Amino acid sequence: MGRYLILHLGNDSFAKRVADLLAARSGLATVDFVSLWEMQMAVRWAQVQENGRTANELILMGGKQINLEKVVVFNRLSSVSALTFQGLSAVDKSYSIEETQAFVLSWLAALPGPVINPATHAGLAGPGFDQLAWMLIAHKAGLPTPEISLVSSQRRFNRPHLSRLQGDVLGLQHGMFCEVLKEDQCDVFVVGDAVFGVHPISLHESIRKFARLVGVDFLQVTLVRVGGDPDRWVFWMADVVPVEVPDDALLGLVYWLESKAEAELEEVSA
């Protein structure tokens, strides 16, 4: 009998699929499916520090108390920006969001059981880096990345062998050149040590290393094909809160959550 807490932003169809499958596979499992809005409107959502110990509390509207002991958490709370702070000025709202972000980060970090995609300084459900930061980590993991050139002016600093990317591609105000890439792409999903998706087998170990460097158990990696070489795939982007997830990766995630719950029960028995 496992106990699970799934935290989500609301209208999260994938998180709901995970919750339903966990409940269906074992009628004895306890699955709490809680949105950020429910947490904001909770009777009590607190972190208590006493005698050198930190404890979290969560009592939802209606009086339901969420038991946070020996529970496996699947965390999809990527941001608190969706919260509403009615009646506040823009400045006060920005301050409230920052304060709430800090509180949620501390609350998630203090959960006593395993958290699938834990909060970090760079994001509440794993890091939310920009594309260049993702590519740097991919390079460190041994994944191939496209040749990129960042310039202050595409007109003055032309790169004839690269393709000019138009628009504000990476939040840059100046310019970026990149290898010619095909429209072909494939999405690869990492769950623990397992890799799911149609992709070059030669990249398996580098993809696993990438997930370890990121510090999450579950993420999506997008690869794109380089023009002129049908067999060359390169890293393009990653997402720690993917939405469109194939069935094999969904099942792999559920098995991974169940294995974490079993480990928690064994620890209690011991």
Instruction: Assess whether 27 and 76 both reside in one domain.
Output: yes
Percent of the chain having pLDDT more than 90? 55
DSSP strands (E only) in 105-217:
115-116, 148-151, 163-165, 175-178, 181-191, 194-196
In a shared domain, residues 111 and 217:
no
- The verdict on 94 and 111 lying in the same domain is yes
Q: Rounded to two decimals, what is the model's pTM?
A: 0.87
Instruction: State whether 186 and 91 are in the same domain.
Output: no
- Domain of 263 in residue numbering reads as 3-126+248-269
On whether both 70 and 142 belong to a single domain, the answer is no
The pLDDT of residue 74 is 97
Cα–Cα dist 11/256, whole Å: 23
Does 145 share its domain with 234?
yes
200 — pLDDT class (breaks 50, 70, 90): confident
| Residues 179, 264 within the same domain | no
CB 192 within 8 A of CB 254: no
Residues 253 and 120 in one domain: yes
Q: Are residues 146 and 115 in the same domain?
A: no
At 82-125, the pLDDT tens digits run 677 777 888 888 888 889 999 999 999 999 999 999 999 889 99
Question: 173: pLDDT confidence band, cut at 50, 70 and 90?
Answer: very low
Tell me how far CA of residue 36 lies from CA of 79, 127, 137, in angstroms.
9, 18, 30
Give the CATH number of the domain where residue 224 resides: 3.30.470.20
Same domain, 46 and 121: yes
Shared domain for 223 and 262, answered yes or no, is: no
pLDDT digits (tens, 9 = 90+) for 38-96: 999 999 999 998 888 888 999 999 999 999 988 999 999 998 876 777 778 888 888 88
Same domain, 21 and 49: yes
Number of independent structural domains in the chain = 2
